[in-house]
Chains A and B, each alone.
Chain A
Amino acid sequence: MTLVIISMTIGIAVGFLSRGIPAIAKNASRITLFGLFFLLFVMGLKLGASREVLDNLGQIGAKAFIIALFCVMGSVFLVQLAAGFIGRKMKEAGVERQCKGDECP
């Protein structure tokens, strides 16, 4: 946990300070990709070695679908609830001028 926050903070600081040096961001994305694939591979290793996960893959998949669906519904609900407010503010700020005629809400 502490490690996660420290790594991210250092990364953001380095990224922010090195804006305008494309080589740094490019190499960072290489390191990120390498780390990601290695970690995914290890996650696969652990999954494959765990009978508990393999035997319950169907059940985990069903759970996953339900959680994902509720996440999507919750997000859409809250954004839709505030859409009028945010949309109005956007128009006040002089943005969203793409709509024409009767397409305008």
Chain B
Amino acid sequence: MTILVIMSVVLGAVLGRWLLPVEYMGQLDSLTTIALCLMLGGIGIELGSQKETWRRLRSLGWRIVLVPFLVAAGSLGGAAVAGLLLGMPLKEASAVGAGFGWYSLSGVLLSQIYSVEAGALAFLTNVMRELIAIVLIPVVAVRLGSLAAVAPGGATTMDTTLPLIARSTDADTTVIAFVNGAALSAMVPVLVPLLISL
């Protein structure tokens, strides 16, 4: 999956760099808008049909819904501080941070509705978030505890970093991680456009 994602971008970049004249680029826009709507509709269907997640959530008690909101707030706060240090506009930094590790979606959203530079930054930032999470999850689980180990992965805790969390923590935390990832994934397509339009 990751390989396919990287390959799509690299293939596009190679074609864009050496083959495709820039003049044709504008004509792609209506096509990409349709693709974006279809993709978001599909993501919506997948989120809406996750019966199992909602049932698990109930069995753990509603307090754990705090976790994704804390992760979201921490990410946006952290991105804002990093933006200040780097001298970036606050809306760009926070929108990039609102990818929560979902690099493919945050990258295409920002390059589609804002600028290709911001899209590239969102893509790379969230790839790095996933890599940092992979390195940090086992360390955080030992040093700080199970719940904190859910935090680094962001939206990826429902898929790519879930196996790692399962191995580093316990069964309940794994369920929390899944719910956390699902909730953050649902926030990405709403928060990224919202923050960039501020």
A residues with a Cβ closer than 8 A to B are 1, 3-5, 7-20, 24-25, 28-32, 34-50, 52-54, 57, 60-61, 63-83, 86-87, 89-90, 93, 95-96, 98-99, 105
Contacts and interface: CB of A to CB of B under 8 A. Distances in A.
30 contacts: A11-B46, A13-B44, A14-B48, A29-B46, A32-B38, A36-B108, A37-B5, A38-B32, A40-B104, A44-B13, A45-B13, A45-B16, A46-B111, A46-B116, A47-B13, A47-B120, A67-B83, A70-B78, A72-B132, A74-B81, A76-B152, A78-B77, A79-B71, A80-B145, A81-B70, A83-B145, A89-B61, A90-B61, A90-B172, A95-B172
Given A5-B190, A7-B44, A48-B17, A68 B147 contact: no
Q: Majority SS of interface residues in chain A? A: helix
Q: Majority SS of interface residues in chain B? A: helix
Given A32-B39, A36-B108, A44-B10, 20 more contacts: A7-B37, A13-B48, A15-B49, A16-B48, A28-B49, A34-B38, A35-B36, A41-B11, A49-B22, A60-B124, A61-B124, A67-B86, A67-B125, A68-B126, A71-B154, A76-B151, A78-B71, A78-B74, A79-B150, A95-B61
A8 B42 contact: no
Given A32-B39, A64-B121, A98-B170, A72 B8 contact: no
